[in-house]
Amino acid sequence: MAKIFITGGISSGKSQFAENTALALYKSNIIADAGMSGGMAGGAETDADNFRLLHFIATANTNINIKDGEMILKIKRHKEKRNKAFAVHENFGDLTAEIDAVRNYFPDERVAERCVILIDSMTLWLSSVFTGIEYFDSAEKTVLNFAEYISRIKCSVITVSDSLGFNLVPADAYVRKFVELNGLMEQKLSSLSDKAYCVIAGNPLALK
């Protein structure tokens, strides 16, 4: 079970690196446990069962951005490039419930622990959690609770975030607080992860 955090700027290549990392981790789990028996109810695992061990949680709120042609096009491109091995979920709200639903599919805890879940992106999720400057405290609590949840969940989780700290200081107060909250979220996710990377121009740099 691995916890991996990946950050980077817009169009840095972090999403592709995250998908490749998830696929490699998934394949290594399958190879390592090839001799495992009785994983699923009814006997040995099948290819279909293994397929459901690799999950992608997309957090873009298409309901809000339905009129944003650029966002729609970006989402479309990501879907076209995404490896078909992923079981895809769309959730921009309660990520803990989504992850629990994935794990609870498996009656055997040993199999649930081999799940690989990729969440892209945490920053888009944060934009749904932090909807106004007056909600900063509650959004911060939600971020901290989610980080604590990820730290104890028994499966592999890869979180992807947009690095915003290298930009100019925004003039808008809400955006400044959003950048602050995003930075806090990145610190928490990075601190609990076994590995952390920053992707720049398609090059992943190991942070830990």
Please report, for the chain, the start and end positions of each structural domain, with discontinuous segments joined by +: 3-29+46-206
DSSP secondary structure of 130-161: --SGGGHHHHHHHHHHHHHHHHH-SSEEEEEE
Burial of residue 31 (CB within 10 Å: 0-12, 13-18, 19+) is exposed
172-184 residue pLDDT tens: 999 999 999 999 9
Sheet with 3-8: strands ordered across: 87-90, 54-58, 116-120, 156-162, 3-8, 195-200, 203-206
Kindly report the CATH class assigned to 3-29+46-206.
alpha beta
Label residue 41 by pLDDT band (50, 70, 90): very low
Q: Return the pLDDT at 125.
A: 96
* Contact indicator for 155, 113 with CB cutoff of 8 Å: yes
Residue with the larger pLDDT of the pair 3 and 37: 3
Q: What angle, rounded to 10 degrees, do the helices at 136-152 and 122-129 form? A: 140
Q: Dig out the tokens for 127 from the structure.
A: 């934009």
Q: Return the pLDDT at 47.
A: 46
* Contact indicator for 131, 65 with CB cutoff of 8 Å: no
Label residue 66 by pLDDT band (50, 70, 90): low
The Cα–Cα gap between 107 and 100 comes to: 12
Q: What is the dihedral of CA 83, 207, 139, 96, to 10 degrees?
A: 40
131-170 residue pLDDT tens: 999 999 999 999 999 999 999 999 999 999 999 988 778 8
* Contact indicator for 163, 121 with CB cutoff of 8 Å: no
Residue pointed to by tokens 């610190």 = 187
Geometric angle at alpha carbon 164, from 160 and 168, rounded to 5°: 170
H-run or E-run covering 55: strand 54-58
Q: How far apart are the first and last CA of the chain?
A: 17
